[in-house]
A and B are shown apart, each in its own frame.
Chain A
Amino acid sequence: MSNEFPQPSEEIKRLTSEIESLRAEMQVSFRKLSQMEKRLRAVFPNLPKKPKATPGQPRQLSSKSGEQLKEDFQRILQAVEESGPQGFDSTISTLPNEDVLALAVELGVGQPKQTSLSKAVEGIRKRIQERRMLGHTRHD
């Protein structure tokens, strides 16, 4: 039998011991960290506490209708046809963030309230590429 690869049971044993050793190292580090923090607070009682995570600002919603967003899409498409990827960047940068997010939702590449701006931009870029590839016929 080939010795090239270890038996699964040996591999499991090896990984288990590696995980245990990492966990032990992390526990030591955490213990040291909390001791340091305690000493620091003992010396400086007015040290500001860790800021609590605050809920983000509510997103501003786009006031554009579906039709207006489709017009924006056509405008970006046109810009890409004329100037390539730079056309995409220059046109999308003229749109307010809320319209970019709304356009991504309209194109089915984003969820309202969940999609980040960068994901929305990438989604729109993908849809532009798809639309261009779908549009080519022998009459072009």
Chain B
Amino acid sequence: MKEKKGPKSIATINFKGGVGKTTCTWCLGDLLSTFGKSNVLLFDLDAQMSLTQAITLNEDGSLVQQFQTWADKSFKKKKTIFHAIEEYTGAGNFNFGVNYEFIYQISDRYHFIPSVEDLYWLALDVIPRDKMQTFMRSLLAKITWSTNVQNYDYALFDCPPSFTLLSYSVLSVCDMILIPINPDFYAAKGVPLILNMLQMQIEPLPVPKIGVFMNKAKPYGGGMTKESRFYWDSVKDVCQKFSKKSGIKIQCFESPIYDRVKIKRAVTTGGVPPEFVSDFKSLWNNIERFINE
């Protein structure tokens, strides 16, 4: 049988809300597909649907017509991510067909699997954890082997700010976990918290590589302010300590994303703002180097 390579998978998570998980995940995907040569598949796993709404709503709050038509069809044909989970965890075989009724095409090389409100059911633990653990691996295999959709180089996951069964399914199989932090005490405090939680929840399965970067760094004279630097140094310190004691590979990327106003509307305006391209390119170079190590 011919060997086929699945996409490299990266999951963005932090239990602290507002650190920029959604914006950064979206920007990285846009960067790779627009400025790079990669085919990217983006997943919104958060039942709050922030990413889905940002991609699919017009600036006046109405739904983009093309997406509306696609979403209606996808729901009628039972092709949402929740239907895939239902089928996978049900009694029968997993015969979920992957095609463009399941995957929405934002552009030629940037494709998207939106979230649905039904994902809130996963918070109720109605599905056995063991069964759910292998869901994303099986789904990615189906996507890889499907002849109905293109081959993807990268799968990017925007995870909810909590440890749901779906996050568990992704975090325990992805190639890298990406943690954005901000230059403030509570966001920085989220790092030891999430490292502890990842290890407790994922082990005895191997914990994937973890990459950490500073988002919304306050700029000053070509670098970051002393205050941002203090929090970044504190996070590096705790990561180094944790990595040494747990054996988990953690890298803190020296490529901050600076805090500038335009980034807030990056998703709705449909492109990484020009002044951010070089920040994200530099971040991506570090991610790529680490993931391929």
Give the complex CA separation of A106 and B229 in angstroms: 9
Query: How many cross-chain pairs have Cβ atoms below 8 Å apart between A and B?
Result: 49
Contact between B226 and A127 (Cβ–Cβ < 8 Å)? no
Contact between A139 and B230 (Cβ–Cβ < 8 Å)? no
Inter-chain contacts of B192 with A (CB < 8 A): 134-137
Q: Is A107 an interface residue (CB 8 A)?
A: yes
Contact between B200 and A138 (Cβ–Cβ < 8 Å)? yes
Q: Is A108 an interface residue (CB 8 A)?
A: yes
- Interface digits, A21-50 against B, CB 8 Å rule (1 contact, 0 not)? 000000000000000000000000000000
Contact between A107 and B241 (Cβ–Cβ < 8 Å)? no
Give the complex CA separation of A133 and B235 in angstroms: 11
Inter-chain contacts of A10 with B (CB < 8 A): none
Interface residues of A in 79-133 (CB under 8 A from B): 105-109, 127, 130-131, 133
Inter-chain contacts of B245 with A (CB < 8 A): 137, 139
Give the complex CA separation of A127 and B227 in angstroms: 10
- Interface digits, B60-82 against A, CB 8 Å rule (1 contact, 0 not)? 00000000000000000000000
Q: Classify chain A's interface size.
A: 10 to 19
Give the complex CA separation of A130 and B245 in angstroms: 22
Nearest A residue to B239, CB-CB: A137
Inter-chain contacts of A139 with B (CB < 8 A): 241-242, 245-246
Give the complex CA separation of A131 and B232 in angstroms: 11
CB distance from A81 to the nearest CB of B (A): 13
Contact between B238 and A135 (Cβ–Cβ < 8 Å)? yes
Nearest B residue to A108, CB-CB: B227
Which of B195, B225, B237 interacts with A108 by CB under 8 Å? B225
CB distance from A34 to the nearest CB of B (A): 48
Inter-chain contacts of A107 with B (CB < 8 A): 226-227, 230
Which B residues are within 8 Å of any A CB, using their own CB?
Answer: 185, 188-189, 191-192, 195-196, 199-200, 225-230, 233-235, 237-238, 241-242, 245-246
10 A-B pairs in the complex with CB atoms less than 8 angstroms apart: A107-B226, A108-B227, A108-B228, A131-B234, A134-B188, A134-B234, A135-B234, A137-B192, A137-B241, A137-B242
